[in-house]
C-alpha cells in the first residue's frame, strides 16, 4: 500500500512565522507554488498560508503585506499527514478538512508536501475522478 512519502513532493520550504506576507508572496512566486507551510523559530509547523489568504485576509481587508506576518495567518492546529500514513488516509484527511494540500511530517520534521495533484498523478487512472470528487465536495 503506497504511503504519503511515496507520492509527496519532497523538500518543502517554509516561510518563517515572523516573515511578512510580501516575503511569502515572493517565495511563492519563485517556487511557483500557491501555498507555503509556516514554521516557527523552533522549525515546527505552525500552519499554512496560501496566495488566497494573502489576498482575502490581508489585501481585501486593507492590510499591508509588508507588515503583516505569515504567523498572523496561522489559524488553529495545522492539518498534516505522517510520511508513513497511507494514501487512503491522506485522501480521507483532505476530504474531512476540505484541503487540497497537506504538509507531510516525519516526527516533528516537515519532509514534504502532498497535493491533490501529486495523488492524481500517481493514483490508478480509473480512481482519479473519485479522488477529485471526494476532496472537492
Per-block mean pLDDT, blocks of 10 residues, the chain (137 long): 93 94 97 92 89 94 96 86 95 91 92 92 70 58
Q: Please report the pLDDT score of residue 11 as a whole number.
A: 87
SS (H, E, C) the chain: CCEHHHHCEECCCCEECCCEHHHHHHHHHHHCCCEEEEECCCCCEEEEEEHHHHHHHHHHHCCCCCCCEHHHHCCCCCCCEECCCEHHHHHHHHHHHCCCEEEEEECCEEEEEEEHHHHHHHCCHHHHHHHHHHHHC
What is the CATH number assigned to the segment(s) 4-136?
A: 3.10.580.10
pTM over 0.75? The answer is: yes
Amino acid at each position: 500500500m503506497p504511503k504519503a512519502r511515496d507520492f509527496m513532493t519532497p523538500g518543502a520550504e517554509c516561510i518563517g512565522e515572523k516573515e511578512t506576507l510580501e516575503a511569502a508572496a515572493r517565495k511563492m512566486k519563485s517556487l511557483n507554488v500557491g501555498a507555503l507551510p509556516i514554521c516557527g523559530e523552533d522549525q515546527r509547523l505552525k500552519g499554512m498560508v496560501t496566495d488566497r489568504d494573502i489576498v482575502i485576509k490581508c489585501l481585501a481587508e486593507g492590510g499591508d503585506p509588508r507588515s503583516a506576518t505569515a504567523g498572523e495567518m496561522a489559524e488553529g492546529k495545522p492539518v498534516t499527514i505522517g510520511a508513513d500514513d497511507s494514501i487512503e488516509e491522506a485522501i480521507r484527511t483532505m476530504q474531512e478538512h476540505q484541503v487540497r494540500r497537506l504538509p507531510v511530517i516525519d516526527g516533528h520534521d516537515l519532509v514534504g508536501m502532498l497535493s491533490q495533484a501529486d495523488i492524481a498523478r500517481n493514483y490508478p487512472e480509473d480512481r482519479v475522478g473519485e479522488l477529485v470528487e471526494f476532496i472537492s465536495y
